[in-house]
Structure 1
Amino acid sequence: MDREEEEEVLVLNQPLLPEPSTGNSTPEDLPRKSLPSRVWIETKKLWRIVGPAIVSRLAGYTMTVITQAFAGHLGDNELAAFSIVNNVILGFSFGLLLGMASALETLCGQAFGAKRYPMLGIYLQRSWIVLFICCVVLSPVYIYASPILKLIGQTDEVAELSEVVSLWILPMHFSYAIMFPLQRFLQSQLKNFVTLWMSVVVLVFHALISWIFVYVLDFGLVGAAVTLDISWWLLCFMMLVYVTCGWCPLSWAGLSMEAFSGLWEFVKLSAASGVMLCLEFWYYRVLILMTGFLSDATLAVDALSVCMTVNGWELMIHLGFLAGVGVRVANELGAGNGPGAKFATKVAVAESSFISLFFCVLIIALHDKFAYIFTSSTTVLQAVDHLSYLLAVTILLNGVQPVLSGVAVGSGWQAWVAYVNLFCYYIVGLPLGIVLAWVADYGVLGLWSGMILGGTLIQTVILAIITARRDWENEALTAGRRVKKWSTPDNQTEG
């Protein structure tokens, strides 16, 4: 163990070298250690990625929560308008762009494990090109938010307020094209603490300017939206400076025309990643949209938006696990270590599930109190209380489903997971929710419960079965072939 600890210290001091697992934990080494020792070693490797990823994602999401809280105290219509923009308009592009950027988790993670460092910068530039084009294509959704929302059943007042917010928040939408690839580029090199501290600094800054814009300068809902633009672009600029000004010397060699070569293959992998994750993100956005067709739609949207915001807040923890297990699995497969990838999956699922169980119990205990964060309206508080147990079940499922998606990202299975998501969410879950809401007349309670039982639960079970039955030795061979396919001779640096 003394030699192993010395090797761990060397790795921590050399962040651009592979993780200990890629150099130390060979398939032959694993059976020689006791199970508690293997779990502890894997936990340290995993949390080196997961810990900073959770903090940075919580910080980013909390900026939106802060803005929603300020909007909620301006009035119920303002809360509904910002919630719809956040959960539907912004959520629509967020899910797709985040998913498309996750292609870098597969490519950069496996290239890093195989020591093909120069290719990381090329992948980053390709992702910028693809995501920026996607942002341009999605812009009309923001520009024509009011007629779109009216078409799907939102009230005129809420739809028009939502359009005002969506227009002012459009610059934030374009920041995603730069931000998401940068996050994954740094994450794959184990530079998570950089994004952690930047995110915390920007979070504090965001809280301050939100108070100034909304209350001191009295800019109202527009001021709340503008603070998000400023904060996200500040974070984006800080990360861009870090990457391009010498702190990533092995993986960033400047802009290159090679970013335009092999672009179509990159687009296909990005599209598969985008469809896989956006089908998950859109699922609960569809839930909010469908709620607009229920009686007393404003109250239902307010209550459900509060629940979805809390769920999204807690989900950031498990998205940290998604990132962590994605990097761990990709690194191990890139290094040819199938058993290491399998063991990393087991540890991540177990630890994420324990955390989700804790928050599930917490929500049940505070079922009639947690909504005070967002509103002081008695009717909204009562409606949230009525939905709190469904929120607890959703949080419990968060502990497994995102981790399995992370395994898929790290392994490059995005395309077939997209088919699983499409079937479970939109062919089974959504129709079941509609039947329970309108045919059985259970309203928003029936809609949400049907989508959980018919969609999320079934999808989680299917992914768990498929993951458990994978041939991990073959996955390692597949990863090796992928690294060779995507690397050019000039960019292959043997470690």
Structure 2
Amino acid sequence: MVLSSIATLCFHVPVCWLFVFKLSFGSGGASFAIGLSYWFNVLLLGLYVKYSSSCEKTRLCFYREEVFASIKELFPLATPSACMVCLEWWTFEIVILLAGVLPKPQLETSPNCCFLSLLLTISLGAGASTRVSNELGAGDYEAAKMAIRAALTISMADAVISSTALFRCRHVVGYAFSNEKEVVDYLNDMTPFLCLLIVSDCIQAVLSGNLFSFFSPLMLCVSY
């Protein structure tokens, strides 16, 4: 997955430059480029699953009858997961849209931060979720609990370090987004709230997928 992500990044940068600057498609070109990059990554992962020797023992033919029969078992598990991911991203988008109806919309949307700590915890949560699923499949529930504890500990350490650094640099961090003093002062005032959001996001990003993986066998039994 690391190599496919690097290949996708190398594919996305020139494609995005082509659509945005060379063909002058603007933001629409950026959206189209990210869509192409997503499908390019899906293609690479599909080829890896189909031809890699690492997946030889677990590879299935998508045209076998047991694959379609297992949809009934996977659907009760996939639906809550999809809803959880959609609600998470819709929350971000709704907040940005609501900022447009505030008294100073340009000022409200200027300090729109995307923190690396959140991306780190999302990646950590995805990796830990896979580990938890593997341990549950092997019947080792203690190892699954240990994986959740380790992921949560690392995530909380990241939350503390990130929020502390942001709070200490709250007087100057606004200059990373704008040279306007009004924007810098505004970000200084909202930094305590952002630190609180970092802590809550780090917890949610790790536990959302792991708790779902840990309780998925129970959910499957209840669905039947």
Q: TM-score, normalised by structure 2?
A: 0.79
Aligned length: 219
Counterpart for residue 250 of structure 1: 57
Structure-to-structure mapping, 1:286-325, within 5 angstroms: 286-303=94-111, 306-307=112-113, 310-311=114-115, 313-325=116-128
Distance 1:229 1:401, change over 3 A: closer
- What SS does the corresponding residue of 2:60 show, helix, strand or coil? coil
* Matching residue's letter, 2:43: F
Distance 1:337 1:266, change over 3 A: closer
Structure-to-structure mapping, 1:329-340, within 5 angstroms: 329-340=132-143
- What SS does the corresponding residue of 2:101 show, helix, strand or coil? coil
- What SS does the corresponding residue of 2:103 show, helix, strand or coil? coil
Shift in Å at residue 379 of structure 1? 4.9
Shift in Å at residue 240 of structure 1? 1.6
- Partners in 1 of 2:152 and 2:129 — Cα distance? 12
* Matching residue's letter, 2:12: H
Counterpart for residue 30 of structure 2: 224
Distance 1:375 1:282, change over 3 A: same
* Matching residue's letter, 1:288: I
Counterpart for residue 240 of structure 1: 46
- What SS does the corresponding residue of 1:391 show, helix, strand or coil? helix
* Matching residue's letter, 2:96: I
1:260 is aligned to 2:63: no
Structure-to-structure mapping, 1:277-426, within 5 angstroms: 277-303=85-111, 306-307=112-113, 310-311=114-115, 313-370=116-173, 379-413=182-216
Distance 1:337 1:257, change over 3 A: closer
Give the conservation status (yes or no) of the 8 Å contact 1:328–1:410.
no
1:214 is aligned to 2:17: no
* Matching residue's letter, 1:231: S
Q: Which runs of 5+ in 2 are unaligned?
A: none
Give the conservation status (yes or no) of the 8 Å contact 2:174–2:185.
no
Give the conservation status (yes or no) of the 8 Å contact 2:133–2:213.
yes
Specify which structure has the bigger relative contact order, considering alpha-carbon pairs within 8 angstroms and separated by 6 or more residues.
1
Distance 1:230 1:275, change over 3 A: closer
* Matching residue's letter, 1:240: G
Give the conservation status (yes or no) of the 8 Å contact 2:167–2:192.
yes
Shift in Å at residue 377 of structure 1? 5.7
- Partners in 1 of 2:87 and 2:64 — Cα distance? 33
- Partners in 2 of 1:219 and 1:293 — Cα distance? 27
CA-to-aligned-CA distance 1:121-169 (integer Å, 9 cap, x gap): xxxxxxxxxxxxxxxxxxxxxxxxxxxxxxxxxxxxxxxxxxxxxxxxx
- Partners in 1 of 2:118 and 2:12 — Cα distance? 21
Distance 1:218 1:376, change over 3 A: farther
Shift in Å at residue 355 of structure 1? 1.4
- Partners in 1 of 2:16 and 2:189 — Cα distance? 31
- What SS does the corresponding residue of 1:367 show, helix, strand or coil? coil
Structure-to-structure mapping, 1:452-491, within 5 angstroms: none
Structure-to-structure mapping, 1:53-202, within 5 angstroms: 195-202=1-8
- Higher CA-based Rg: 1
**Overall identity of the aligned pairs, in %:** 27
Give the conservation status (yes or no) of the 8 Å contact 1:363–1:388.
yes
Give the superposed CA RMSD: 3.0
- What SS does the corresponding residue of 1:293 show, helix, strand or coil? coil
- Partners in 2 of 1:238 and 1:361 — Cα distance? 39
- Partners in 2 of 1:215 and 1:378 — Cα distance? 30
